[in-house]
Amino acid sequence: MLRILTLCHGNICRSPLAEVLIEAAISADPLLAGRVVVSSAGTSDEHAGEGMHANSAAILRAQGLRSTHRARLFTPALAATLDLVVAADQANLRDARAILRMGEKRPEIRLLRDFDPTAVGRDLDDPWGYPLAEYERVAEEIAAAIPGLLAELRDRI
């Protein structure tokens, strides 16, 4: 079983949105379904235990996807269970690398938008505090990266 984790700052907007969108794409892929587990976490514990942001949840519900979630912190112990960490932005990447230095097992860590060959910029901007349209833009950027991520996962299986 391949285990991947999507990572952002608070684990309430981008990473749970990415988690569910990637999870749905994996479920629809006959080569990956049942062979890849997706989860999410944040580099900060300020939202630990909270549900997904209402705008992220609304986007997922509109697509008939799961919107339940509880934010959690990315820790060395969690990292030890993973094969790949997909970070939302370069600040999350730096924070994750600092957290990973504390653990024994270090999964590979990459930026989500690096899986999209057409991406302009490498960061998936944080929509927190912005209107629904920003969350929709983030969802589109996540969706654009999914084919490249799935190709990478197929190579690892």
Tell me the C-alpha distance between 62 and 156, whole Å.
Answer: 32
Helix axis angle for 54-62 and 132-156, nearest 10°, is 70
pLDDT in tens, 10-54: 999 999 999 999 999 999 999 999 999 999 999 999 999 999 999
CATH 3.90.1150.10 holds for 2-156 = no
Whether residue 21 contacts residue 59, with contact meaning beta carbons closer than 8 Å, is answered with no
pLDDT in tens, 77-113: 999 999 999 999 999 999 999 998 876 778 999 999 9
Instruction: Spell out the domain ranges in the chain.
Output: 2-156
**The pair of three-digit structure tokens given for residue 111, joined into one six-digit string:** 């930026």
Tell me the C-alpha distance between 3 and 36, whole Å.
Answer: 6
Per-residue burial over 50-88, b = 16 or more CB atoms within 10 Å of its CB, e = otherwise: eebbebbbebbeeeeeebebebbbbeeebbeebbbbbbb
pTM of the model: 0.96
Residues acting as catalytic residues: 8, 14, 126
